[in-house]
């Protein structure tokens, strides 16, 4: 790959430091990610162990650029500290000669990060979802043990327990929230009288119960073994029953629309086209209502109010598709931008490491790693969010961090070589 001994030596040192730093930093990210995932979803120890190989690829787009920066700064800092850079200068060799191994490392890490974000990471996200769907029963039991309650998002059912012993739920309360005329969950107030009237219309209680997940029906079945007292607001008096069901929440449902980061690179254009068609369809309906309103000079006030209400409804319906459309296009830009950050970090680490003239890890970390990370990642996150919100052009918002940090890196390298 390289023509001289010193280039091969520098590249081997870069790979050694890069590999050790990548393992250490990925381990830290993985531990933090597992803690967050376990706390949010109530994963059991067996599920955590099974999820480790699937979570590793998701951390690499963040750890690879940082370790590329760290490796280049450490290796070239050692070269400067051992006066090897001075010896190379005195022999008349251009410093671009020893910068080539770092450029190659930046190129390799850029390609690896691109490949991960294009295909591997979306595939592992899908595998994590399938694994959670296969272990819904265990996840629900874990949440009940930790929170003493199971409240699926956007579900009208809630479940409370006093204690969980093995597979038994003790002192179980099963409730169903009221639904208003528009199909929205009741918040417990009467719109007319503005007073609290109770948010539940169905309550069941039992001393013991067991859970079972019906995979085909996608329901959680609650078997209240003991004599259950059931109260239904729609039927006078108390009833007795035993089996109750909760529809699987969106967290475990494979039919939920995937997030942009969960899509493979090849499926992003199709999803963008689909969302664009949805936007066009809603805009056509809105424009039709607007034209009706403009040409309806003889209509009564009730019809005009109805048309205005429909226009406002279509405006509200467009908010989510617009944001999803921008998020999908931003994802198309963000993946190559994050990957190119590896090259920017590699180039910025060489001159800073040489000028720092340090051989210890701590000094190198303070001099190069912290300032660069505190500049690059805040710029990237802010630009990405502003692009998704439509406050900045998507290309400028996503690529601004690379443009700024990459420009600084090239200026530093040029200054290093010309001195």
Could you state, in order of their start, the residue ranges of all structural domains in the chain?
5-135+326-418, 155-248
**DSSP one-letter string for 364-375:** HIIIIIHHHHHH
Query: What average pLDDT does the segment 243-266 reach?
Result: 67
Angle at 234 between CA 231 and CA 240, to 5 degrees: 35
List helix spans (H) across 295-393. Answer: 301-356, 361-364, 370-388
Q: Inform me whether the pLDDT recorded for 11 exceeds 50.
A: yes
How far apart (Å, rounded) are the C-alpha atoms in residues 268 and 262? 10
Q: Report the pLDDT value the prediction gives residue 111, as an integer from 0 to 100.
A: 94
Query: What average pLDDT does the segment 193-210 reach?
Result: 67
| End-to-end Cα, the chain, rounded Å | 28
Q: Inform me whether the pLDDT recorded for 191 exceeds 50.
A: no
Angle at 24 between CA 22 and CA 26, to 5 degrees: 65
- At 198, list the tokens: 């109770």
Lookup result for tokens 């001195």 = 419
Query: What average pLDDT does the segment 267-295 reach?
Result: 88
Q: Inform me whether the pLDDT recorded for 231 exceeds 80.
A: no
- Each residue of 50-103: pLDDT tens digit? 777 777 888 888 889 889 988 888 888 888 888 888 888 888 777 888 888 999
Q: Report the pLDDT value the prediction gives residue 369, as an integer from 0 to 100.
A: 72
Which residue, among 407, 380, 383, has the nearest Cα to 61 in the 3D structure?
A: 380
How far apart (Å, rounded) are the C-alpha atoms in residues 68 and 61? 11
Confidence bin at 181 (pLDDT 50/70/90): low
Confidence bin at 399 (pLDDT 50/70/90): very high
- Which of the 8 DSSP states describes residue 272? H
Query: What average pLDDT does the segment 188-195 reach?
Result: 42
The reported pTM is 0.69
- Each residue of 104-158: pLDDT tens digit? 999 999 999 999 988 888 888 778 777 665 667 777 777 787 778 887 766 677 8
- Each residue of 329-355: pLDDT tens digit? 999 999 999 999 999 999 888 888 888
Q: Inform me whether the pLDDT recorded for 387 exceeds 70.
A: yes
CB 163, CB 147: distance < 8 Å: no
Report how far apart, in Å, the C-alpha atoms of 69 and of each of 108, 233, 342, 346, 356 are: 13, 64, 8, 5, 14
3-class secondary structure for 95-130? CHHHHHHHHHHHHHHHHHHHHHHHHHHHHHHHHHHH
Q: Report the pLDDT value the prediction gives residue 182, as an integer from 0 to 100.
A: 54
Q: Inform me whether the pLDDT recorded for 159 exceeds 90.
A: no
Q: What are the residues whose beta carbons fall under 8 Å from the beta carbon of 252, sequence distance 6 or more?
A: 132, 133, 136, 139
CB 293, CB 304: distance < 8 Å: yes
How far apart (Å, rounded) are the C-alpha atoms in residues 73 and 71? 5
Q: Report the pLDDT value the prediction gives residue 79, as an integer from 0 to 100.
A: 86
Q: Is 35 exposed, middle or buried (0-12, 13-18, 19+ CB in 10 A)?
A: exposed
In the chain, count of helices (H) and strands (E)? 11, 9
Lookup result for tokens 């912290």 = 370
């Amino acid at each position: 790959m390289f023509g001289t001994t010193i280039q091969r030596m520098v590249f081997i040192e870069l790979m050694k430091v890069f590999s050790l730093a990548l393992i250490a930093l990925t381990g830290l990210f993985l531990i933090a990610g597992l803690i967050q995932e376990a706390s949010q979803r109530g994963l059991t120890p067996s599920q955590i162990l099974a999820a480790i190989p699937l979570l590793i690829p998701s951390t690499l787009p963040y750890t690879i650029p940082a370790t590329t920066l760290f490796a280049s700064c450490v290796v070239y800092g050692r070269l400067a500290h051992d006066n090897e850079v001075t010896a190379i200068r005195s022999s008349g060799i251009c410093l671009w000669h020893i910068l080539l191994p770092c450029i190659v490392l930046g190129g390799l890490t850029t390609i690896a990060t691109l490949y991960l974000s294009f295909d591997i990471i979306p595939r592992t996200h899908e595998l994590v979802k399938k694994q959670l769907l296969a272990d819904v029963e265990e996840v629900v039991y874990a949440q009940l043990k930790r929170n003493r309650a199971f409240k699926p998002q956007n579900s009208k059912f809630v479940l409370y327990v006093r204690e969980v012993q093995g597979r038994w739920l003790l002192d179980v309360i099963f409730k169903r929230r009221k639904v208003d005329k528009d199909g929205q969950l009741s918040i417990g107030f009467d719109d007319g009288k503005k007073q609290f009237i109770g948010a539940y219309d169905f309550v069941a209680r039992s001393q013991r119960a067991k859970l079972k997940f019906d995979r085909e029906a996608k329901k959680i079945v609650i078997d209240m073994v003991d004599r259950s007292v059931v109260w239904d607001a729609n039927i006078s008096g108390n009833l007795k029953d035993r089996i109750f069901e909760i529809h699987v929440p969106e967290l475990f449902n494979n039919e939920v629309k995937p997030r942009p980061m969960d899509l493979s690179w090849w499926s992003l254009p199709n999803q963008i086209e689909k969302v664009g068609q949805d936007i066009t369809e809603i805009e056509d309906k809105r424009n039709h209502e607007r034209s009706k309103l403009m040409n309806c000079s003889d209509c009564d006030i009730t019809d005009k109010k109805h048309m205005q209400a429909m226009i406002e409804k279509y405006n509200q319906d467009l908010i989510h598709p617009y944001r999803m459309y921008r998020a999908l296009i931003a994802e198309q830009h963000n993946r190559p931008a994050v990957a190119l950050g590896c090259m920017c970090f590699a180039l910025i680490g060489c001159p800073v490491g040489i000028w720092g003239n340090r051989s210890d890890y701590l000094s190198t970390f303070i001099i190069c790693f912290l300032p660069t990370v505190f500049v690059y990642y805040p710029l990237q996150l802010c630009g990405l969010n502003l692009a998704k919100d439509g406050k900045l052009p998507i290309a400028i918002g996503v690529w601004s961090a690379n443009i700024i940090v990459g420009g600084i890196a090239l200026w530093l390298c040029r200054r290093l070589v010309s001195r």
